[in-house]
Amino acid sequence: MGPHGAGRRRSCGTRQERTHLTGFRFLTFDCYGTLIDWKTGIELSLKRAFGGFPLQGKGLLDVYVLAEKEEEKSYKKYREVLRNSALRLRPTHSAADLSAAEAFANSVPSWPAFPDTRRALRALGKSGYARYILSNVDTDLLEGTIRNNGLEVEGYVTAEEVGSYKPNPGHWLRFMRKTGTKKRDILHVAQSIYHDILPTQEMGIASAWVNRYREPLPANAHPAYIVDSLESLVKLLP
């Protein structure tokens, strides 16, 4: 592999000249929201399982995300997090709702990848980077996602494996133990400021924020690089 590594913090969009980075050997990725279109997956799967909600679109997703954040405060398997979060959206819980929540929890491997995901992972692998996923899900759900979407990665760390959810540092600590790598060798690639950018910042691990939804950067977040897609990241990295 040629030299890769950290330079100045910079932003890039769809038209970005190549920047030479020196030092990174491993690219770690958040999965749902970064590689996988979790917004589409969640909304379609909730509607398919429950038959509809009074809230739609962003309103439904905002309420769901808050419910899931509450459920992840203490560790439980992600299937339970999904079931409980879905049920929080319903005023009462019928037997049909319980069955629908179970169906929703099992839907994760069917959530679609973003259009640039497979192509970007393949290109980054050809450039010599080792690609790992660090995800807040159960191992079998992530394995199903990788298989169903044809994601080319060398390995992964899951919440089930470490017994905690990001932003807890357990995923990164486990990854470094598994691979024997150092913080300076890692560039973490993610969409979530809360779950990924802030904790890597606190750990001293460089990050690339994939701002797929054109959101403002919080004042307390300082990713090393800002891109609007994985396609843009491929153009940024040599």
Helix (H, G, I), strand (E, B) or coil at 158: strand
Helix (H, G, I), strand (E, B) or coil at 85: helix
Q: Catalytic: 30? A: yes
- Helix, strand, coil shares of the chain as percentages rounded to 5? 45, 15, 40
Q: Could you tell me which residues come within 8 angstroms of residue 12 by beta carbon, excluding any fewer than 6 positions away?
A: 19, 225, 226, 227, 228, 232, 235, 236
Q: Dump strand ranges (E) for 100-158.
A: 130-135, 155-158
Question: Which candidate in 30, 116, 185, 196 is catalytic?
Answer: 30
- Cα dihedral 44, 46, 48, 49, rounded to 10, equals 160
- 226: β partners: 11, 209
Instruction: Give the residue among 215, 233, 236 at the shortest CA–CA distance from 30.
Output: 233
Q: Which amino acid is at 71?
A: E
Q: Could you tell me which residues come within 8 angstroms of residue 124 by beta carbon, excluding any fewer than 6 positions away?
A: 27, 131, 233, 234, 237
**In the chain, what is the straight-line distance between the N-terminal and C-terminal CA atoms, in Å?**
10
Q: Measured over all CA atoms, what is the biggest interatomic distance in the chain, rounded to whole angstroms?
A: 58
Q: Among all residues, which ones are annotated catalytic?
A: 30
